[in-house]
Amino acid sequence: MNNLPSVSFVTCTFNSSKLIEECLSSIKSLDYPHHLIEIVIVDGGSTDGTLEIVKKFNCRIIEERTGRPEAATAIGYNEANNDIIVNFPSDNIITSRDWLKRMVVPFILNPEISGAETCYYEYVRNDTLLNRYFSLFGAGDPIPYYLGKRDRITYFEQKKWPLKAKAVDKGDYYEVEFNESNTPTVGANGFLIRKELAKLVSKTPLEFFHIDACLDLIKMGYNKYAFIKIGIWHKTGELFEPYLRRRLRYSTIYFGDKALRRYHTFDPKKDKLKLIIFVILSFTFIEPLSESIRGYLKIRDVAWFLHPILCPIVALVYGYSLVKFKVGQLFKTI
């Protein structure tokens, strides 16, 4: 522990007053030398008292007006000073005081580790129904789950490494080596990265997206990651209608920026059959329901049973977004 690296938390805010105090308090409560931690707040023009709360925590505040959270993250990466940078959105909460010490151990033991992430989303029994579903299934969206690209482990797989990339069990964490074809949707919600690598991929903020940045580094050979057997509470507080609106907004942004993107959750060359199977499974309900029962036998929570409901709804939302994009392209060419 005498070799602990310095750490910069990059937190992007925009009218985040409901959660920002709990978010920053969880950082301040860490059992980690405080002089080795800086908190960089990148604010997009909050008007709800967010900055007044932030100022109580001795943070460095950077103002930006891109209107894009991913660009704001890149700006924060560029401004961060310490050895390790943490992508730490304002709806992230740390629930254990030793969290950061455990997260930095792989960087200390292996200089080839480029990034690190928690294995799980923290399951909190009194969280919202939708958040509990995300935590239990290890994904905020059924499509990455069925395409094998989710960023966390489900709560019925905790005793093994379930993703495609091979992993070496190091006791408190898995050491994983990725390649271009087996990279999951990593890079956010408590993701740690070496400063020099973060700055390498954040030079053009308007072209930055966390998953693309990780894939870029993996293509360059920085392909070793650690997944620590601990959780991060992604406390979005989401309800169904806002969640679906956000899925629609994200998919619209994705289709609009597709020419700039390098990582694709759905790759037409590799994932077409998997997507067809997902759609068939979603609208026949049997397989999603069986996954729900499998999870419920592990942890008795009705949130598992959102799965057969959300699968077809999310398929329709993305289908609508795709059709809208294609129609828009068609009218542009006429």
In this prediction, residues 192-202 reach a mean pLDDT of 97
Domain encompassing residue 154: 7-237
Please check the confidence at residue 64 and state whether its pLDDT lies above 70: yes
Structure tokens at 88: 């730490």
Q: Give the total number of structural domains in the chain.
A: 1
Indicate the pLDDT class of residue 310, thresholds 50, 70 and 90.
very high
User: Does any domain span residue 210?
Assistant: yes
CA distance 324 to 327: 5
User: Is residue 107, in this structure, part of any structural domain at all?
Assistant: yes
306 in a structural domain: no
In the chain, the amino acid numbered 185 is T
C-alpha atoms less than 13 angstroms from C-alpha of 144 in its C-beta half-sphere: 23
255 falls in which pLDDT band (50, 70, 90)?
confident
The string of pLDDT tens digits covering residues 75-102 is 999 999 999 999 999 999 999 999 999 9
On whether the CB atoms of residues 53 and 17 are closer than 8 A, the answer is: yes
pLDDT single digits (tens) 104-146: 999 999 999 999 999 999 999 999 999 999 999 999 889 989 9
Q: Is the pLDDT of residue 334 over 70?
A: no
Give me the amino acid identity at 309: I
Q: Write out the two tokens for 191.
A: 């993701």
- Amino acid identity, residue 37? I
Q: Say yes or no to pLDDT of 239 above 90.
A: no
Residue 177 lies in a domain: yes
CATH code of 201's domain? 3.90.550.10
Q: Does the pLDDT of residue 189 top 80, yes or no?
A: yes
pLDDT band per the 50, 70, 90 thresholds, residue 272: confident
- Average pLDDT of the residues in 210-237: 95
pLDDT for 318: 87
Note whether residue 264 is domain-resident: no
Please, what is the average pLDDT of the chain?
92
Position 328 in a domain: no
Other Cβ atoms less than 10 A from the Cβ of 331: the count is 7
pLDDT at 1: 60
Q: Is residue 14 part of a domain?
A: yes
User: What pLDDT is stored for residue 122 in this prediction?
Assistant: 96
Q: What percent of the chain has pLDDT over 70?
A: 99
Taking the C-alpha atoms of residue 8 and residue 200, their distance in angstroms, rounded to an integer, is 16
pLDDT, tens digit, 9 for 90 and up, residues 6-47: 999 999 999 999 999 999 999 999 999 999 999 999 999 999
**Residue 242: pLDDT band with limits 50, 70, 90:** confident
Measuring CA to CA, which residue among 41, 40, 60, 43 is closest to residue 195? 40
* Position 280 in a domain: no
